[in-house]
């Protein structure tokens, strides 16, 4: 199975390239952001817990996110592969993902990090706010907080995957097609 962790700051193209990977390699897509937003839309207890945290650009609790992923993984262990988009976001989540996969005799094939300059992230998210209706895209202070939270709490996971020799850095600047070609090259060389 091809199990990819697509990693990078908010606005780096994780959602965009996950969709393309799903199509090319017939993978199952897990976006914790999308799952949380659908819980909010359905006004579930989980969604209500997550909403105020997400609107501020902070991270939802590890326990909540890990519990949410547990069933999703076991229900899809017989597929072609999985693409994790926006998960893990903390070292605790990374360790939990390894454990959840191991329980199903699976493992991460590679962690692919999309490397994008801060200025470009802000430009992309502000542009997306014109159509996304997302509170966390609409305010420059929240966008900046999300990038700071990423640098502080999420970026350290790169070390976790480097130690496992699973870390792959991809230049995330340029056109979507060029970036996708770089991602595919990494996967073909795994
Ligand atoms: P996410 O939904 O994961 O949001 P994101 O990081 O902003 O999205 P993404 O990075 O996928 O966007 P993309 O680049 O594709 O998380 C939202 C919130 O949910 C978090 O802040 C947190 O509160 C919570 N959350 C989610 N997962 C969690 C977890 N595991 N633990 C705790 N909390 C969690 O797209 C950005 C825009 O750029 C798009 O409009 C796209 O069209 C455009 N774009 C992409 N590539 C481009 C390119 N090459 N050129 C120009 N534009 C491009």
Q: Distance between alpha carbon 36 and the CA centroid of its chain, in Å? A: 12
Taking phi over 0 as left and psi of -120 to 50 as alpha, with beta for the rest, 29 belongs to beta
Which two structure tokens, joined as six digits, stand for 70? 């547990």
Report whether residue 9 contacts ligand 1, using a CB cutoff of 6 Å. Answer: no
Our measurement of the distance from residue 179's CA atom to the centroid of its chain's CA atoms, rounded to an integer in Å, reads: 16
Mutate to test the pocket of ligand 1, among 18, 86, 113 (most ligand atoms within 8 A of CB): 86
Tokens of 186: 């990494």
- pTM attached to this predicted model: 0.95
Tokens of 4: 């990819």
**For residue 71, what pLDDT band results from cuts at 50, 70 and 90?**
confident
Beta pairing partners, 30: 84
Q: Do the Cβ atoms of 25 and 2 come closer than 8 Å? A: yes
Mutate to test the pocket of ligand 1, among 85, 124, 148, 179 (most ligand atoms within 8 A of CB): 124
**151 C-alpha to center of ligand 1: Å?**
14
pLDDT, tens digit, 9 for 90 and up, residues 21-43: 999 999 999 999 999 999 999 99
**102 Cβ inside 6 Å of ligand 1:** no
**169 confidence band (pLDDT: 50, 70, 90):** very high
Residue with the two structure tokens 């976790």: 160
């Amino acid at each position: 199975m091809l199990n990819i962790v697509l990693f990078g700051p908010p606005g780096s193209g994780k959602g965009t390239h996950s969709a393309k990977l799903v199509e090319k390699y017939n993978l199952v897509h897990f976006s914790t952001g999308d799952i949380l937003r659908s819980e909010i839309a359905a006004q579930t207890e989980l969604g209500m817990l997550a909403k105020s945290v997400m609107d501020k650009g902070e991270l939802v609790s590890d326990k909540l996110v890990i519990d949410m992923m547990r069933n999703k993984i076991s229900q899809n262990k017989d597929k072609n592969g999985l693409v994790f988009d926006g998960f893990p976001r903390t070292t605790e989540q990374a360790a939990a993902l390894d454990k959840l996969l191991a329980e199903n005799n699976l493992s991460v094939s590679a962690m692919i990090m999309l490397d994008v300059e801060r200025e470009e992230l802000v430009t992309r998210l502000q542009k997306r706010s014109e159509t996304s209706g997302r509170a966390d895209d609409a305010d420059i202070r929240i966008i900046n907080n999300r990038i700071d939270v990423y640098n502080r709490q999420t970026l350290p996971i790169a070390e976790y995957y480097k130690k496992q020799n699973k870390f792959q850095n991809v230049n995330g600047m340029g056109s979507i097609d060029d970036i996708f070609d770089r991602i595919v090259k990494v996967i073909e060389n795994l």
